Amino acid sequence: MSDVALLPVLPDLLEPGLSLIFCGINPGMRAASTGHHFEGRSNRFWRVLHLAGFTPEQIRPEDDHTLLRYRYGLTTVVPRATARAAELSRSEIELAGEAFQRKIEQYAPRYVAFLGKMAFSAISGASNLEWGRQATPFGGAHAWVLPNPSGLNRGFSLDALVAAYREARIAVASTP
């Protein structure tokens, strides 16, 4: 049995009616082993979230549950942990997509923000995605595609990530 099979499933941080749910592709190994979202040392999620104005202070990964206070949640499309998202097959993402869509419908957030184009493209069938708000809702929520804040994603500087996330925050704040 592999070490991955022994890892617990990373719990969702969700409540009905959130303003926005951030959706990663799948948990990283460290996040799954600690039980906290975006736990990797090089992951920029918590810093970007704070700098973009989603939270008044930078949340530590071990305090990820406090994000619910601000009406934001966390989940993943695929529950299986991997060292890199590239270890997931497109078919694995597509298979997980149906259950994920039901989850979004059940929790009914106003927005769902996919962190990276890969998962949204696989489960929506959309190609040639642009960053930002999508024309088609997902699971009854406004869909938004944000750059993945993983430290492995060096295509986006910290400033570029913050600008993209700030645009989403402003849209969420201005939508009743």
Q: Which of the residues 36, 37, 142, 148 is marked catalytic?
A: 37
Q: Lowest-pLDDT range, 35-39, 51-55, 105-109?
A: 35-39
* Distant-in-sequence contacts of 43-48, Cβ < 8 A, 24+ apart: 43/149, 43/150, 43/151, 44/149, 44/150, 44/151, 44/158, 44/161, 45/115, 45/149, 47/158, 48/149, 48/158, 48/161, 48/162, 48/165
Instruction: Provide the token pair at 73.
Output: 């949640």
Q: Lowest-pLDDT range, 9-18, 28-37, 56-65?
A: 28-37
Write down the pTM of the prediction.
0.92
Residue at 160: amino acid letter: A
Is 43 a known active-site residue? Answer: no
Cα Rg for the chain, rounded, in angstroms? 15
Instruction: Provide the token pair at 87.
Output: 């270890």
Q: Which of the residues 26, 36, 43, 142 is marked catalytic?
A: 26
DSSP-based three-state secondary structure for 132: strand
d(C-alpha 140, C-alpha 149), whole Å: 25
Give residue limits of the domains in the chain: 36-174
CATH annotation of 36-174: 3.40.470.10
* pLDDT tens readout for residues 93-116: 888 999 999 999 999 999 999 999
Is 50 a known active-site residue? Answer: no
